[in-house]
Structure 1
Amino acid sequence: MEWTREIDGYCERLDPGYWAEPINAVTNAAFLIAAFIMWRRVRGQGLPLAMVLVVILAAIGVGSYLFHTHAQVWAAMADVVPILLFILVYFYGVNRDFLELNRGPALVLTAMFVPYAVGTAPLFGLVPGLGGSSVYAPVPLLILIFAAGLRSRAPETARGMAIGAGILVLSITLRALDGPLCEVSLMGTHFLWHILNAIMLGWMIEVYRRHMRPHGRAVAI
């Protein structure tokens, strides 16, 4: 793999320079702000998995910043790996703490996300205009599936997850519009993907916190 190969995938980038995407780079601060807010909300509550999610949320901001400044293959990996890790850890929490599965079955079901995403992303790729953003589309669908399954046993949690899925759908839509709207706005719309994703991921941690705290539950990872 050519780790230093340059990547030009966004409207704002017009050259390979470090500050070629200033708006896309700076808006990654939204992830750090969301992580700080959620760190203050979950600290001392006996929720180690929530704290892990907060750390990963901050790492998403750092990784995305590196990608939108260096714009090379290695930086792209620093961008996407924390996102995947957040998804897997969160769905593990959903399986274990929302669906109340034992650790083993929760891990197995979480691992199934990979073949699920690989199998469904090409189908979303058939949606006109979605393009490369199709790789993220399986996530809000799965969140909605979990929300539907939780409607009876945990309606507030289900509602919170549905709200998160809605924010993510809007975020993915704006990500997909970055290229088509480039002639209208030279800064594109990718920076809105950052802001909305930061809100969404912080909100999803809050949904987890609210689900766990009413019962005073403290669960080890």
Structure 2
Amino acid sequence: MDWFEQVDGYCERTDFTYWSEPLNAVTNIAFIIAAVILWRRSAGVPLARVLTAVLFMIGVGSYLFHTHATIWALLLDVAPIGAFILIYLFAVNRDIVRMRGWVAFLATLGFFPYAAAVIWMTEQVLFLAISNFYWTVPLLLIIYAVPLRRRPGIASGFMIGAAILTTSITLRSVDEMLCETITFGTHFLWHVLNGIMLGWMIHVYTRHMLATDRAGR
């Protein structure tokens, strides 16, 4: 694999100069801002702190990808996203669903066959295939929200997250479709909304953990 092979997948990029995607690069500040705000609020909740650090890394990785546009930068973009999903899923399984640690870990590993199945299904629909992997997340949030519906703070939090993410995935997917109409594309809105959505999901988890801690005192 050529780690320095360059990648052009967005309307805004017209060449391979560093600032060819200014909006796509700069809007990664949304992840950084969310991480800075939530770092202080997540004090005392170790996994929330880990998620906040990973959120910061998502912003940095995405910035590097939208400026360097290489395979190595793409890896730095997608790896923190995958890590965030798995860590958050483990946190939900252990601390919200209340599985034992090893059961929560095994349930988290179940994400891989689940994702493979969802990717296969979305590949059958042209529009959904564009962002096939990302559709696994809002669907999973809905799946978890249903059995947790008697815990409104959690269920509604997951549904709000799913709604925001569905909107952002849609905007990501139409980016190249609208190039002739919107020359700078819509991918930058994916960053803004995802910064809000991931920050919101950390907030939902942190709020639950702090409330549980207070109730246990």
Distance 1:33 1:212 in 2: 22
Q: Letter of the aligned partner of 2:117 in structure 1?
A: G
Partner of 2:52: 54
Q: Letter of the aligned partner of 1:174 in structure 2?
A: L
Distance 1:120 1:130 in 2: 10
Equivalence map 1:158-173=2 (5 Å):
158-173=155-170
Distance 1:115 1:128 in 2: 22
Distance 2:212 2:96 in 1: 12
CA offsets, 1:58-116, max 9 Å, x none? Answer: 00000000000000000000000000000000000010001100100000000111121
Measured after TM superposition, the shift of residue 216 of structure 1 is 1.3
Q: Letter of the aligned partner of 2:57 in structure 1?
A: A
The reply to whether residue 98 of structure 1 matches residue 96 of structure 2 is yes
Runs of at least 4 residues of structure 1 off by over 3 A?
none
Distance 1:116 1:127 in 2: 18
Distance 2:104 2:129 in 1: 32
Q: CA RMSD in A?
A: 1.2
Partner of 1:174: 171
CA offsets, 1:194-221, max 9 Å, x none? Answer: 000000000000000111111216xxxx
Distance 2:27 2:86 in 1: 24
The reply to whether residue 12 of structure 1 matches residue 9 of structure 2 is no
Partner of 1:35: 35
Q: TM-score, normalization: structure 1? A: 0.95
Structure 1 residue runs of 5 or longer lacking an equivalent are none
Q: Residue 195 of structure 1 is aligned with which of 161, 177, 192?
A: 192
Distance 2:94 2:213 in 1: 16
Aligned length: 215
Distance 1:36 1:111 in 2: 29
The reply to whether residue 156 of structure 1 matches residue 153 of structure 2 is yes
The structure with the greater share of residues assigned to helix is 2
Measured after TM superposition, the shift of residue 131 of structure 1 is 3.5
Q: Secondary structure at the match of 2:177?
A: coil
Distance 2:76 2:160 in 1: 28
State the identity as a percent. 55
Structure 2 residue runs of 5 or longer lacking an equivalent are none
Measured after TM superposition, the shift of residue 130 of structure 1 is 2.9
Measured after TM superposition, the shift of residue 151 of structure 1 is 0.9
Distance 1:121 1:198 in 2: 23
Q: Secondary structure at the match of 1:126?
A: coil
